[in-house]
Chains A and B, each alone.
Chain A
Amino acid sequence: MNSWSRFNIVSVVLGFAFLYLPIVLLVIFSFNESKLVTVWAGFSTKWYVSLFNNQGLMDAAWVTIRVALLSATIATVLGTMAALALTRYTRFRGRLLFSGMVYAPLVMPEVITGLSLLLLFVAIGFDRGFVTVTLAHITFSMCFVTVVVQSRLLSFDRSVEEAAMDLGATPVKTFFEVTLPIIAPAVLSGWMLALTLSLDDLVIASFTSGPGATTLPMKIYSQVRLGVTPEINAACTLLIGLVAVGVVIASILTKRREVQRLRDEQAAFAGR
């Protein structure tokens, strides 16, 4: 057995502290009785109650959820189509340019993306609001979906599609009955990625949003500038909880599927 050297213990503790101390502090202070964020005055859940009574924050949360669901869904459709085009039609005119352009938003500073979108919306006289935020989020999250789906398509056995066509399925039917079900996990994780990106985006939303379409990150940011309230801590704690539950469920599901698969394979080889 390896014994734990002092150095190992110290580095693990430091590493985790670095990652999680701020979050732990935030969670602890969300249960603070006092209005002062840094002074502990006893346990209370009153900030959670007042959070749900804060109409401004709740409205912002609702806008964020709607923008995220809508933009993630459209970005997934467009991103998947782009991935298909990039992997399947290997020799069309301007393919290299197109694939480069799809990846550009991955490395583009958000400020530039936001600013350019703002200029575009102003130039064509588009009133800023819910629609513009959604469009902006589609624009920048689409490329993430493309990357995820494309990597799945690269390892895709094309003969499965040929087999479907050989058996009488038209290309459209082949896509929906064979291709899509097989790449569904990648499409789904692309969608989740787009959803998360949209949920916590502040910069691009600030540029492209207008009155009546304030997202939760924008709202939190503007409130924090007037002073951090335990209410914000409570909101963040809820978000952290939500994300943690999501991550745990996802990893349990993956693990379980893997174990099942392993068992199936062993069974197949044992009982030939």
Chain B
Amino acid sequence: MKSLGNIRRSFAPWTDPDAKPFITFRNVTKRFGDFTAVDDLTLNIYHREFFALLGASGCGKSTLLRMLAGFERPTSGEIILDGQDIAGIPPYKRPVNMMFQSYALFPHMTVESNIGFGLRQDGMPKTEIAERVAQMLKLVKLEKFAKRKPHQLSGGQRQRVALARSLAKRPKVLLLDEPLGALDKKLREETQFELMDLQQELGLTFVVVTHDQEEAMTMADRIAVMSHGKVIQVATPAEIYEAPNSRFVADFIGDVNILDGKVSASGNGKIELAVNEGFTIRTATGHAPAAGSAAGFAIRPEKLKVTRAAPVDASVNAAEGEIWDIGYLGDMTVFYVKLGSGKVVKASMLNAQREVEDPISYDEKVWVSFGETAGVVLKD
């Protein structure tokens, strides 16, 4: 069976029409004065899902999270959590906990009492609190630091205290606001996988807000790409990357070459596109715009092939150009190829071998080619 991306998911409740969403935003709008932060947004999140809200700053993703936590009230629309409309419930009565971007640890309390704070608010007996706190400390591997104050911890340790504190009450949903934003790169990569393991182990629903697409791609079951208060696409990381539904998503996630043209022939699940760069693209597509209409074609750099010799069939999906620039990144090399029309496309090639016989160099004439399923026709 063919699948987008080279992973197959067994967890996919969103494909099951009978599955009941755990969190539902229904026509939610949030305005701050004249500014519309969230615009008539509808979204379903399922139980045990690791869901990421991805977007540039100011796209409304944080506002959405804060509405779920109860710090903001929607101007209109409803937010349903586990069958209950929570729009009017104050934050301290919601079965939802949040991990803050700044961690927001209580500076005057030890690690222990930070983690136990929520349990104390619930009036849990002291012995049980101690037990749960010990369990949480073990979970985040901070047993030795129980008596320290936050300022006596490193950034990574603070992050884990914040995580333990937000998990201590066993919330139905854990909200994470840029959880790894303040960590350095190496620690961030480690922590990504720790978070995923934790989520699996505890069987919780995680909603994470991030502006880092790599982070979202690695961790999330599904990603909602947001822009100007609207959700542009909700899909698995592979779908988002391989089948972006719009120019915005294609451009926002990863690198992409977008070629514009007119549909010259359509049918049989394939279309032909006469692009402005002066060649014809034949591609398989799920949706088929009518012949004569304008359409955009998106193709990722790693799906383009750069060769000196012309491909066998150079009548479609191939264009001639010359090397404009070369970027050597170690694991791969990026070729910037200037096509006849003057447009520069980006093609990347994995450096699978250490030594290359007669490598392609600057100003050489080359052919750029790709297969019929390598790119997608954009809907707008």
Contacts and interface: CB of A to CB of B under 8 A. Distances in A.
A269 interface: yes
Interface in B94-146: 94, 96-98, 100-102, 104-108, 117-118, 121-122
A168 B156 contact: no
Interface string A160-173: 10111111111001
Nearest to A170: B92
B165 interface: yes
Interface stretch (A26-34, A117-125, A259-267): A259-267
Nearest to B187: A272
B102 A264 contact: no
Interface in A118-155: none
Contact of A265 (B90, B92, B152): B152
Contact of A157 (B70, B104, B154, B166): B104
Interface in B155-178: 156-157, 165-166, 169
A265 B151 contact: yes
Nearest to B90: A165
B128 to A, nearest CB: 15
Given A164-B117, A170-B92, A268 B97 contact: no
Nearest to B97: A166
Contacts of B107: 160, 182
Interface string B189-229: 00000000000000000000000000000000000000000
A261 B151 CA distance: 8
B147 to A, nearest CB: 12
Interface string A170-210: 10010000100110000000000000000000000000000
A157 B102 contact: yes
B119 to A, nearest CB: 9
B153 interface: yes
A163 B121 contact: no
B108 A182 contact: yes
A272 B106 CA distance: 20
A181 B109 CA distance: 10
B122 A168 contact: yes
A2 interface: no
Given A168-B92, A168-B169, A159 B102 contact: yes
A160 B165 CA distance: 12
Contacts of A167: 92, 97, 117-118, 121, 165-166, 169
Nearest to A161: B104
B91 interface: yes
Contact of B98 (A160, A163, A168, A265): A163
Interface string A238-259: 0000000000000000000000
Which of A165, A168, A272: most chain B Cβ within 10 A? A168
Contact of A162 (B71, B151, B154): B71
B51 to A, nearest CB: 19
Contacts of A170: 92
A265 B158 CA distance: 13
Nearest to B98: A166
Contact of A166 (B69, B149, B152, B157): B69
A165 B102 contact: no
Interface of B: 69-71, 90-94, 96-98, 100-102, 104-108, 117-118, 121-122, 148-149, 151-154, 156-157, 165-166, 169
